[in-house]
Chain A
Amino acid sequence: DQQVKQNSPSLSVQEGRISILNCDYTNSMFDYFLWYKKYPAEGPTFLISISSIKDKNEDGRFTVFLNKSAKHLSLHIVPSQPGDSAVYFCAAKVGGGSQGNLIFGKGTKLSVKP
């Protein structure tokens, strides 16, 4: 039973346009959400996070939006660049402590075309 779902396995976007990656979750106890980016043959790299007390967090070209009532979060990349082409993983956790382990989605492969 997947608690974190990324329903789009892939997304293709033109350079300069906005990329929107989506993530849904089922556990209402999740209170911290993260996005990771992964290039082939490399480990996931932390990108941006958001606490459940916020609905938006922005870092340069990357913005994460959280809609708690819909149990949905999204990552916006504006403008998209070819170097953004990678697999993006959404992850969530319940608080701290040993119970607060990260639960990952299966990832969305983003391709940004020049």
Chain B
Amino acid sequence: EAQVTQNPRYLITVTGKKLTVTCSQNMNHEYMSWYRQDPGLGLRQIYYSMNVEVTDKGDVPEGYKVSRKEKRNFPLILESPSPNQTSLYFCASSPDRGLIYEQFFGPGTRLTVL
């Protein structure tokens, strides 16, 4: 089944403890992206990657890192999480930059930083 998977789905952590949220797609998509969703603010793009070893900042990149060493994986790294990073996170992928084809979203990761 074609899908985007994220792990973990739920995570509660404490301020300053480094964490990684994994994202993997099995559709051989070139483009991958991370979003966060907050009440009243909607979905905002954090980082995106147009291909292996190519990443770029979205609208809200502060406090996050990403890497794209393999085409299928695009982990989101929080080096020193803070409470304002408590949010619902979504990973997405598409065959191109989204110019022609739609984006497919993962199920989401709910992160709470205490």
A and B pair up: no
Q: Contact residues of A with B, CB < 8 Å?
A: none
